[in-house]
Amino acid sequence: MIDDTRAGLTRRAVLETGAATGFFLVTGLPASSQPQPAAAVPPAAPAAIETVPLTLRINNRDFTVDLDPRTTLLDTFRNSLGLTGSKKGCDHGQCGACTVLVNGRRINSCLTLAVMHEGDEITTIEGLATEDELHPMQAAFIAKDGFQCGYCTPGQICSAVGMLQEAATGWPSHVSEDIAAETFGLTDAEIRERMSGNICRCAAYANIVAAIRDVSEEA
Question: What pLDDT does 106 receive?
Answer: 98
Domain stops at, among 127, 152, 178: 127
Looking at per-residue confidence, does 17 or 87 come out higher? 87
Where is mean pLDDT largest: 1-5, 12-16, 21-25? 12-16
For 86, residues 6+ apart whose C-beta sits below 8 A from its C-beta are: 74, 77, 78, 97, 98, 99, 100, 109, 124, 125, 154, 155, 158
pLDDT exceeds cutoff 80 at 3: no
Residue 10 lies in a domain: no
User: Considering only 23-32, 169-178, 180-189, which range has the smallest mean pLDDT?
Assistant: 23-32
pLDDT of res. 27: 57
Q: Answer whether residue 2 shows pLDDT above 70.
A: no
Query: What stretches of the chain adopt beta strand conformation (E)?
Result: 52-58, 61-67, 99-102, 105-108, 121-123
pTM for the whole thing? Answer: 0.78
Q: How confident is the model at residue 48 (pLDDT cuts 50, 70, 90)?
A: confident
Number of compact structural domains in the chain: 2
Q: Are residues 133 and 218 in the same domain?
A: yes
Q: Which of 127, 149, 170 corresponds to the end of one domain?
A: 127
- 142 and 181 inside one domain: yes
Residues 142 and 153 in one domain: yes
Q: Are residues 113 and 81 in the same domain?
A: yes
Residues 134 and 213 in one domain: yes
Question: For 74-106, b where at least 16 C-beta lie within 10 A, e where not — what string?
Answer: bbbbbebbebebbbbbeeebebbbbbbbbeeeb
What CATH code is carried by the domain that includes residue 78?
Answer: 3.10.20.30
Task: Decide which of 86, 105, 127 is a domain's last residue.
Answer: 127
For 32, 33, 40, the CA distances from 36, given in Å and listed in that order, are: 9, 9, 12
Q: Is residue 89 part of a domain?
A: yes
Residue 185 belongs to some domain of the structure:
yes
Looking at every residue in the chain, the average pLDDT score rounds to 89
Q: Whole-angstrom Cα distance, residue 21 to residue 25?
A: 6
In a domain, 41, yes or no: no
Residues 120 and 133 in one domain: no
**One domain, residues 182 and 215:** yes
Element (H, E) at 14: helix 11-27
Q: Regarding predicted confidence, which is higher, 149 or 10?
A: 149
